[in-house]
Amino acid sequence: MKKSFLFILFCFVTIVFRAQVVTISDPALKTGNSLLAEKKYTEAIKVFDKVIKDSPKNAEAYYSRGVAYSNIGNTIEAISDYTRAIYFNPKKVEALVNRGTTFSGMQKYDDAINDFNSALAIAPNMAEIYNNRGYLYNLQRKYDLAIADFGKAIQLNNKYTMAYINQAHAYSALGSDSLSIKVLSKLIAINPDVSSAYFNRAYMHRELKNNKLALADYNKGLELEPTDVFALLKRAEIKDEMGNDAGAVEDCSKAIQLDSTNALAYYTRALAEFDLKKYDKIIDDCTYALKYKKDYNEAIILRGNAYDFMGKYQQALMDYNVAIEKNPNSTDGYNQRAIAETQKGNLVCAISDLTRALKVAPGNLDILHKRAILFFTTKNYESAIEDYNKMLEINSDYSSILLARGDLFLLQKKSELACEDYKRAEKLGNGAAKSKRIFNCK
């Protein structure tokens, strides 16, 4: 039931260069740049309008007005002004970078990359441009090019935190979590006080199923950044998986103190409370989670689970009904409602729900097995055998299913088929199958 969330902080540097005041002799241009520095963008634009009217080929004026337009969110005018600045001064690297950054924000990645290429031809030692181009390559899934650009950024500035983290992300996207860890470890060796490096390395350790190392990294990262709510919740998940339910609850409670409207924090705490059998608290936490995230289906189902364990089947069914109504393709919703229906003795309804779940997830062994058991309970042996057949098509070495199907064949007096299943299960090491084979087969 737990969800995994990507923790990598994939970073793009928004390089919006300010207009340069030095070496500018035009008093009006100086005035406009001073207004820019004071963040009086509308007033600055009016000043630059006058400068451009008097000097229509003034690259600096177009560039500075473009910066002002960028800051008020007028991307069309900003791009137009950066383009004019570049036309009148082709080596204006700041205009190229700012226009590329603006194109990136508009998801015009090829145009942005072209501008970054032109900027690097003029300023080949600017690490931020390599980082940004690498970011765009990564969005285009050109991971090798992205890794090379992040590497170049690191070569130019070996303390460039963003470039390390972005390169780790690119390696992870290629499926090389071990290389991601190597990059992040290098960053930590150079700068051991970067909390995001520990958090991202923790995520990678967890991907590699090494919870002990992941926990150590979350511990260190949270020493540096104790108010990071997301990191607290990821550490809580690991503690829960490692059986430290009380520790998980404690971390979630800290997260809630920092952000009392965080639905994930309440839900994660409810998951930890499940193992502690604190069903009343689970219901409370799931209710809070739903208060702050109304379409939180996982919380609805988990609350239904708590009602189930308390024997409050009607309340459980109400939650499962809501979950299914919100998401008609919720396999878990149908599965959990089937369990509640079974507890109430409504086996036909339970079978119906499991059948709906299998339409969404036809190869789900757990649901097939549950339905087979219900078919057996209702003495629909042929349907139970069909489900066992489907399970064995998926996994032919499923000895307990061979044993169960053998039992059904025996009930139908199909001794030969039963004995074949017992023998197959016995070869797979099933002791019960051996006993049944000895007792029932010649």
pLDDT of residue 26: 83
Whole-angstrom distance, CA of residue 81 vs CA of residue 70: 10
Residue 421, C-beta contacts closer than 8 angstroms, at least 6 positions apart: 402, 403, 405, 406, 409, 433
Q: Which residues of 391-425 are buried (b: 16+ CB within 10 A; e: fewer)?
A: bbeeeeebbebbbbbbbbbbeeeeeeebbbbbbbb
pTM (2 d.p.): 0.79
Domains in the chain, CATH or no CATH each? 1-124 (1.25.40.10), 380-442 (1.25.40.10)
Backbone torsions φ then ψ of 261, nearest 5 degrees: -110, 15
Alpha-carbon torsion angle 35, 41, 47, 48, nearest 10: 110
**Helix (H) or strand (E) run with residue 174 in it:** none
Each residue's pLDDT tens digit, 189-215 = 999 999 999 999 999 999 999 999 999
Q: Which residues of the chain have pLDDT under 50?
A: 1-23
Q: How confident is the prediction for the chain on average, in pLDDT?
A: 92
pLDDT of residue 25: 57
Each residue's pLDDT tens digit, 284-310 = 999 999 999 999 999 999 999 999 999
